[in-house]
Chains A and B, each alone.
Chain A
Amino acid sequence: QVQLQESGPGLVKPSQTLSLTCTVSGGSISSGGYYWNWIRQHPGKGLEWIGYISYSGNASYNPSLKSRVTTSVDPSKNQFSLKLNSVTAADTAVYYCARGIVTGGTSYIDWFDPWGQGTLVAVSS
């Protein structure tokens, strides 16, 4: 079965760039019918979708973060990545990667499954 695993620094300084990678195992990131997502959860709070990227590089982002977010995909490594620049303490959160399922021949995500275990990123000097 497909599994996802986030990796990256757990501490980032204010104004710097948060960089995370999600490694997909048990399946190919290049398989059709999926978009590869980032979601975050502030401590003790709800879930916020950050954005997705397809294996071909098509991306879509939450407008609230769009100006600071970049995603990329590396099919040769079965990985996709997130960069969030100009971070502040408000970006401290658990960051999850998740596979978005696309059905019915549309280009829209229908649900997320599975999710990575999540990684806590703290923004602090």
Chain B
Amino acid sequence: DIQMTQSPSSLSASVGDRVTITCRASQTISRYLNWYQQKPGKAPNLLIYATSSLQSGVPSRFSGSGSGTDFTLTISSLQPEDFATYYCQQTYSTLLTFGGGTKVEIK
């Protein structure tokens, strides 16, 4: 299995802050890395696919980068609606796996 490790597991930030979440794969996954946002009681929602492609309708303050084993999700200016849990997912392997999640909370 390819293990996906996210850091931090949680963070507190203020509206307007720049936020960076890291995802590390246990082996190289090229650029087969996606990011999802999940709000309480809701299903995950695709934010970024293939490392850096923004899903239609997702605000441009979200961006993704990386390759190989190390990836980042950046929110350039945190907005009130961005407080949620974020998951990375690798689709390099036929056994699809997710990171443990990063909960972004209000400071």
Contact = CB atoms under 8 A, between A and B. Distances in A.
Interface of A: 46-49, 60, 62-63, 96, 98, 101, 108-118
A110 B50 contact: yes
B44 A47 contact: yes
For the residues of B in contact with A, the DSSP-based class is: loop
Contacts, number: 54
A62 B50 CA distance: 22
Interface residues of B, number: 22
B49 A111 contact: yes
A49 B43 contact: no
Given A47-B44, A115-B44, A110 B98 contact: no
B93 to A, nearest CB: 9
A110 B49 contact: yes
A1 to B, nearest CB: 10
A116 B42 CA distance: 9
A109 B87 CA distance: 17
